[in-house]
Amino acid sequence: MTSRERAGETRSAASEREIVVSRRIDAPREAVFQAFTEVRHLSQWWGPDGFSTTTRSFEFRVDGVWEFSMRGPDGTVYPEWIMWTELTPPERIVLTHGEHRDDPDAFESILTFEPDGDATRLEMRTVFRTTAQRDEAAEKFGAIEGGRQTLGSLAAYVDGFVRQEAGA
């Protein structure tokens, strides 16, 4: 029996392969969802602190693809590929994310946008193919902190564009 089982915690096989990051964003969920629908928005906030995003192609629809690269603070360029697999505006986005279309290490992310008063609770649930892949993403690539930073960038960006649209 593991210490987790002794403590009364149970986890499914899927949860052993997940990273879940959430954030309350002070904007209506329609505005938060909109930040995912247009490349002019995504390119402004996508990625951890110090990263920039350059888009090669973008089509926001089911089976549409976003091909882009991210440049890290040290100048390293990372190729990225996302295919949108489920879109339920303004509630849910499901996507497959890898370095390229046939990436054997691609993973799935499920984003849910829940109203929270005048704000939005955004949860990003990333499911990897294996626990080892999840652990590598967390330990080697800092996926948990990177996810937190990305949602922080989104929150700051959405706050700015909501204020701009409101004329504040």
pLDDT tens column, 37-56: 999 999 899 999 999 999 99
The whole-angstrom separation of Cα 108 and Cα 110 is: 7
Domain 19-166, CATH: 3.30.530.20
pLDDT digits (tens, 9 = 90+) for 106-161: 999 999 999 999 999 999 999 999 999 999 999 998 999 999 999 999 999 998 87
Helix ranges (H only) for the chain are 3-6, 29-34, 39-45, 131-139, 143-166
The 8-class DSSP code of residue 50 comes to T
- Domain ranges across the chain: 19-166
Strand partners, 111: 93, 124
pTM: 0.87
Token pair for 129: 């193919």
Backbone angles phi, psi at 27, to 5 degrees: -165, 155
